[in-house]
Amino acid sequence: MALKPPNLFGIVETGIFRSNAPTDENLLFLNNLHLRTVIFLSPEVLLRTVVKFFEDKDVRQHNLGLEAWRPEPDWTCLCDEFLKDALEMLLDVRNHPVLVCCTSGIFQTAPLVGCLRRVQNWSLTAILDEYRAFAGPRGRLTHEQYIEFFDVDLVTLPAEEGRLPAWFIDYNLMDFEQKALELDGLRQQLRMLQARESDESQERLTAEEKLTKRRIHFALRCSDAQWSTMLCSPDTRMGKQSLVDDEDDD
């Protein structure tokens, strides 16, 4: 039997997956993910066979959408408390591997992932590029605006050591001054190697030095791409212009 992932399946980060609501034909594929937790964001229920499958596999199921639903005509899942609860579950490695999903795979899941990217300090441009890649023509401006103005300070990170994902710690708790010093050291080393390479009076670079030079080039390229296109320092504001019109046009 062929493995068939749910529609709009994607890897958000190591240990976090996204999709629409899985069906019976997706169970074989999901079995290979060795899930520990499923977070369902829609105010509905998963298929009985899917629920039974997760129960048999001892996968914890959290129907946050149904828990948060209120019988009010203007109720929406785009509320701070709802997304705060979901984000705090995603940022706790005790829940990983985790699948976060909703009926469409878009209307609840995409804003949640967008808010996660805000917590990760992605630039707004990169966040919206990812949102639109999954949402396509079904994307909503209200979702994009909510992502932009989501208050990341609402999210409480796990205090206990070892509960934050490694990919979150690597960037968000980075010592930026130390990182800058490390990059300066790499640039200085690269300049020295380049100077030796261009000076005919100097000995030729050894194979190991040539490999070191290539590695430095790659490390610096990755760092430049990271800062220019996807990530922004936690101490800086998002550089993209707001989605909301600026009345002063400045």
| Residue 12 near residue 26 (C-beta atoms within 8 A) | no
Q: Is 102 a catalytic residue?
A: yes
User: Which residues have a Cβ under 8 Å from the Cβ of 143 and sit 6 or more positions away?
Assistant: 78, 107, 110, 111, 114, 131, 135
Give me the sheet containing 16-20, strands edge to edge: 10-13, 16-20, 98-102, 37-40, 60-63
The contacts found for 56-61 with CB under 8 angstroms, 24 or more apart, are 57/31, 59/35, 60/36, 60/95, 61/37
* Token duo for residue 239: 């550089």
Exactly one of 77, 79, 101, 102 is catalytic; name it: 102
Q: Which residues are catalytic?
A: 102
